[in-house]
Structures are given as structure tokens and as C-alpha cells.
Amino acid sequence: MSALHAPAPSLADKLLSTCAVRQHSAAIMALAQSGQARHFTWHPERMAVVSAYVANVIRQRYPSLKVPYHSRWRHFEAGGVDRWSAVSHEQGLDGLHTRLERARARVDLAITSVLLDAGAGPSWQYRDQASSQALSRSEGLGVASLRWWSGGGLSSDPHQPCRADAKGLERVQTADLALAFQVSDKNPLVGLEGRANLLRQLALALKAHPDVYGRPDEPGLLRPGHLIDTLFRQSPTGQVRAAHVLSLLLHTLGHIWPGRHELGGVPLGDCWPHPDAPDGWLPFHKLSQWMTYSLLEPLEDAGLTVIGLDELTGLPEYRNGGLLLDLGLLQARDRAFHTTRWAVDAEPIVEWRALTVAILDHLAEAVRGELGMTPEQFPLARVLEGGSWAAGRQIALAKRPGGPPPVQLDSDGTVF
């Protein structure tokens, strides 16, 4: 594909958007609907079964149907413990007069925690001493990152532990992360070095964009949380579009992802070639969208109103995508798909992720029908949380010991 390395900045900008994620994935979905997708077949007769399954999971987890946003904040509450509120209170961040600084701290925490959130692997767990809980997978990663951050692990100022700043992030070593996350030979964490490198790359990104991550009154302090101040400057009405938040993250943090494709010198992030995709590319921006979903509560806490929430897409990761395979909405053409260990850029994986994005929109509509809810009452962010992600984990546990996904992925800690 000649476009791979040809300068095309306008195409790069187009690919760095939720609109492109949805449109390009829909093109692959159209092929599946006509039986022409390369690697998967689509079975719409299974939609009623899948939507009923997801709706049932939502009713089990949230009987009142008051479902929060899908975000990192849910993982901090693992085991029914509200750890963020405890930390906020301990650090004196829970008062009205600390509203802005609390929001900045929450953004610092959310962005760094999401960067550490790729799949942990089946063997790792974190023992949270304060709650005496042993937590694995996303919950363990979330709580471990919260404890590390709140203990000053990402701050350059020992008097301001609940902060992440460029000076604190750039000095993070793999050994520091291993210690904070209780990693050992008996407790291995997938992609350890890649995660530590992401935090160091985040420091460089903050330095490269002082207009977004700095403040005139604190010129030497660069931190993710200053995104709050930037959005207030850019949004005098107090309203900010979710897609704008994502665009800001994609354009300012795009260089942190290792070894990815570029067009015209613009890094494309979580965007991959596929021969049947529009312009030859399938953009996903999974972690950046997960980050955006995880910023909704801090932004609202600061006093901003986030609009256009459903411009964001479903997240193409192994729980949502695994649900579709485990319940038969999608079926691999080649049975070896499930026994092969795949790289994240393998064509079948890229196609599976595109179909996941597109099908989640259809599934959300069907789930709302099951629940008797409107899109306004039950946006995609609540369907994911209630919802498809939890259902993917539940069906995986029912089908396979330990609940691994139905796809074997060779992840470096920066995609899934």
C-alpha cells in the first residue's frame, strides 16, 4: 500500500478522530453484512441472544439501571471500596475551595492510570493492604496505580504527592514500576517495560505542549491536570465536546506510542492498515478513547459540561470483542484463529477490532430496547460499563478456566 509512508497530513488529521473510527469500522461491517469480510462471518440472528445477555448483566450489576460512565474510576472502587474518596479526604482535596485542584489531580491520576491499563496477563495480582484485597487484571492495575500515584510516585514535589508532573514522570524506571506493582518472578506483569516507557514518553509529550499542559502562573510545572485549565480557556461557555477532548489528547500525546505508523510525520497511534478499509486504514484509538471516557467525571467535577458523548465509540478490546465471538455474533472463518497467538497488527485482529466497534453501536441499540431506555438516558458510555465489558468478562469465565479472552494476543502493554 503506497499510502503507508507518503506524506498526507490531511488524511492523518482525518484518521485522528472519532468520526473516522466509526466510519472506517462501518465499512468493514458492511462487508461482513454482505458475507465478504475476509476473516469473520456475521450472524445477526444472534443479536437478540447477545442483547438479552448484556441487559441481564446490567440488571444484575445495576438493578436501578443508574449506570455510571465506563471509566477507570470504576476500577478504583474494586471490591466495593471507594478508594478515591478516601485519598481525596486524606489529602484535603474534598472541599469546595479545592474543586479545581481536585479536578487537576483526578486528571493526573486518570491519564497515568489509563496508560498503565493494558492487559495484565493471567498470573499477576496486586495485594491492596488498606483493604486487604487481592486484585487482578484491570482492577488490580487501577488500584496499584492509584496507590503509587497517591504515594507521590509520579510527583517531583514530596510536599505534593497527589500529582503527576513531567519531572516526576521522566525519572520513572522499570524497577520503580515493578516495585509499586508488586512484580516478581512469581507475580509477572505483561509489558512491564513498555508501561514504564509510556510514562517517560508522557513526560516528553507534556514538555512538547506547554500551551496545553502548562499554566502561565506556574511556568515550570507541566502536568496532565492542566488540561482542565486549557479546556476552560477554550470553552468560555463551559461546554466541551467529548470529541474535542479526544482530539486534544490524540494531537498532543500521539508521539508517546512506540513503533507505530506515521503519515507526513504525524503519528497515527492506534491505527492500522487493512486492505479493505477506506484509504487503507482502520483507526481505533482505544486507549485514548478510554482515557477520554475516564476524564468525563473529573471534567464535570471541575464544572465543565461534556456534550456529544455518543461521538465516542465502543472500545475495541478483548472483553467487548470477546463477547461477540463467545456468543456467536461473529465467527472466525479459520478455526485456527482461536489457537494462534496474534500480534496486535495482524490483519485478522485489526478486522475483529473494526467489527467490534461497529457491532457495539448495533448492540447498544438492541440493549436499550431490552431495557426500555432512550439513547439520552442510556448513552454508549453506560452500555459499555453496565454492560458489554462486564458481559464479555462473565461469558469468558463461564467458557474458560480463569476467564481468558477467546483470542490469544501478544501485547506489549500499549494496545489492549
Percent of the chain at pLDDT above 90? 86
Is residue 124 assigned to a domain? yes
pLDDT tier at 414, thresholds 50, 70, 90? low
Please give the single-letter amino acid code of residue 136.
S
Rounded to 5 degrees, φ, ψ at 28 are -70, -35
Is residue 115 assigned to a domain? yes
Q: Is the pLDDT of residue 21 over 90?
A: yes
What average pLDDT does the segment 242-268 reach?
A: 89
Check residue 288 and give its pLDDT: 92
The model's pLDDT over 139-150, given as tens digits with 9 standing for 90+, comes to 999 999 999 999
Task: Confirm if 203 and 170 have CB atoms less than 8 A apart.
Answer: yes
Please give the single-letter amino acid code of residue 403.
G
Q: Is the pLDDT of residue 371 over 50?
A: yes
Interacting residues of 209 by C-beta distance below 8 A, sequence separation 6+: 252
The model's pLDDT over 387-412, given as tens digits with 9 standing for 90+, comes to 999 999 999 999 999 899 999 998 76
3-state secondary structure of 157: coil
Gap between the terminal Cα atoms of the chain: 26
Which three cell numbers, joined as nine digits, stand for 2? 503506497
Check residue 412 and give its pLDDT: 64
3-state secondary structure of 4: helix
Task: Confirm if 391 and 323 have CB atoms less than 8 A apart.
Answer: yes
The model's pLDDT over 219-229, given as tens digits with 9 standing for 90+, comes to 899 999 999 99
User: What's the rounded Cα separation, in Å, for the pair 70 and 187?
Assistant: 28
Check residue 58 and give its pLDDT: 98
Is residue 185 assigned to a domain? yes
Check residue 6 and give its pLDDT: 46
Check residue 45 and give its pLDDT: 97
Check residue 96 and give its pLDDT: 82
Least confident of 4-18, 50-64, 311-325: 4-18
Rounded to 5 degrees, φ, ψ at 41 are -115, 150
Write the Ramachandran bin of 127: left for phi over 0, alpha for psi from -120 to 50, otherwise beta: beta
Check residue 360 and give its pLDDT: 98
Write the Ramachandran bin of 124: left for phi over 0, alpha for psi from -120 to 50, otherwise beta: beta
Q: Is 362 exposed, middle or buried (0-12, 13-18, 19+ CB in 10 A)?
A: middle
Question: In 3-state terms, the chain is what percent helix, strand and coil (to 5)?
Answer: 55, 10, 35
The tally of domains found in the chain comes to: 1
Mean of per-residue pLDDT scores for the chain: 93
Closest CA to 234 of 212, 209, 215: 212
Check residue 375 and give its pLDDT: 93
User: What's the rounded Cα separation, in Å, for the pair 209 and 254?
Assistant: 12
Is residue 416 assigned to a domain? no
CA 89 to mean position of chain CA atoms: 27
Is residue 265 assigned to a domain? yes
Residue found under cell 492495575: 141
Rounded to 5 degrees, φ, ψ at 329 are -65, -35
Is residue 101 assigned to a domain? yes
Range of the domain at 277: 2-410
What average pLDDT does the segment 89-103 reach?
A: 92
